Amino acid sequence: MLYPLQRRLLHWYSIFLSGAILVLICSGGLVTSHGAGMAVPDWPNSFGYNMFMFPISRWIGGVFFEHTHRLIASAVGLFTLILFGLTWIFEDRRWVRWLAGIAVLAVVVQGIIGGLRVTEHNALLGLFHGCLAQGFFSLAAVIALVTSPLWPRLGAVSNSRDLRIIRFWTVIVTGMIFVQLILGASMRHSHTGLAIPDFPTVYGGVLPPLDSAAIASINQSRSQSPTTSGLILLQFIHRVWAVFVVMGVASAGVAVYLQRLLPPIVRKSGLVWLGFVMMQFGLGAWTIWSNKAADIATAHVLFGALILGLGVLLSVVLSRVVRQALHPEQDPVRSGLRELSV
């Protein structure tokens, strides 16, 4: 009975890594919210010091947020390597080992892009850095799922046709969420979070003013940096797309909950998904009303990662159930019992 204990260890370690990645995402959100992305101008050193030997007395202001972000990122990189080692020791499914290997590759690329963002002074690299972090979190969550006791219990159900439809729309909505995260990251890294300073109205109206005369008048009255029609349009699209995302998550999440043949934890996850997206929508509005307060904006980033991750997990779960319905000879319960007998 040692094998189940090893698998359980791998599962809980994957959950720990997912939590560490969320902390890293929040740390990155604080860096961007405080405008501290270039507070430490060199990389991989910190003001010429070895990153891990940088004096604590100099962790002040923006340097604190940027330097601690680097340290947390280093820890997450180490944790990911440990996950890779544990997977190759405890896991006999080759595709799960490959997932752990992809996670290592992702964290290495993520670190390099983060460093190049500093050395090259390139905001576009910051956009890629933020989006990859969201995908990295989702990947770690998937590893936690496929190593959990729930995975072998996900068997075929009688109404597989309905589930195929729900799976299709869950995948589509998850893709919509990722597009929304790209739009949000584009706003954050171009510092356009307040290109439209009011909500739910748009400069007191419904549609954004985009003509040159209106932009000139807006910039004369702005206390923040000047804006442009493109930046205003970017935030307006982000708002409109958020409405579609909320409707999509509401439809797919409720549909998952109503599938009574699914495990209770999966059904309840559909409602949690809806709750998360409503919270995210509220945090987006609060970010505007609070004049983009750093803690509120960072919470907005956090819930964006949670919504994407849960969408990916539901998509994987539904794909597993549908696959078992199409190939009933591959019974997950029996395979799980065989694993326990090893």
- Phi and psi based region of residue 291 (left: phi greater than 0; alpha: psi -120 to 50; beta: remaining): left
The DSSP annotation for 253-264 comes to: HHHHHH-TTS-H
Copy the structure tokens of residue 320. Answer: 């597993």
What's the average model confidence in pLDDT over 220-225? 80
DSSP helix, strand, coil percent of the chain (3-state; round to 5): 75, 0, 25
pLDDT exceeds 80 at position 336:
no
φ, ψ dihedrals at 46, nearest 5°: -125, 105
Confidence of residue 174 (pLDDT cuts 50, 70, 90): very high
Output the pLDDT for position 338.
42
Confidence of residue 300 (pLDDT cuts 50, 70, 90): very high
Give counts: helices (H), strands (E), the chain.
Answer: 10, 0
User: 307 with 273: CB under 8 angstroms?
Assistant: yes
Domains of the chain, residue spans: 1-149, 156-331
Copy the structure tokens of residue 139. Answer: 């990947």
pLDDT exceeds 50 at position 197:
yes
Output the pLDDT for position 325.
63
Single-letter amino acid, residue 63? V
Output the pLDDT for position 157.
62
User: 183 with 234: CB under 8 angstroms?
Assistant: yes
pLDDT exceeds 90 at position 323:
no
What's the average model confidence in pLDDT over 170-175? 97
Mean of pLDDT over the chain: 88
What's the average model confidence in pLDDT over 207-236? 89
φ, ψ dihedrals at 54, nearest 5°: -65, 125
The DSSP annotation for 150-215 comes to: TGGG----S-HHHHHHHHHHHHHHHHHHHHHHHHHHHHHHTT-TTSS-SSSSBTTBSS---SHHHH
Output the pLDDT for position 225.
78
How far apart, in Å, are the Cα atoms of 174 and each of 25, 59, 61, 99?
A: 19, 38, 37, 20
Helix (H) or strand (E) holding 202: none
What's the average model confidence in pLDDT over 282-289? 94
pLDDT exceeds 70 at position 339:
no
Output the pLDDT for position 268.
96
Copy the structure tokens of residue 93. Answer: 């499914």
User: 185 with 127: CB under 8 angstroms?
Assistant: yes
Sequence-distant (6+) residues with CB within 8 A of 306 are: 22, 276
User: 39 with 63: CB under 8 angstroms?
Assistant: yes
Please report the beta strands in 20-148, taking only residues with DSSP state E, as ranges in sequence order.
Answer: none
Output the pLDDT for position 334.
40
Beta bridge partners of 46: 49
Cβ neighbour number for residue 35 with a 10 Å cutoff:
12
Q: Report the distance separating Cα 264 and Cα 261, nearest Å.
A: 8
Q: Is the pTM of this model over 0.85?
A: yes
Q: Helices 123-146 and 160-189: crossing angle, nearest 10°?
A: 150
φ, ψ dihedrals at 213, nearest 5°: -65, -40
Q: Report the distance separating Cα 143 and Cα 160, nearest Å.
A: 25
pLDDT exceeds 50 at position 66:
yes
pLDDT exceeds 70 at position 221:
yes
Confidence of residue 1 (pLDDT cuts 50, 70, 90): very low
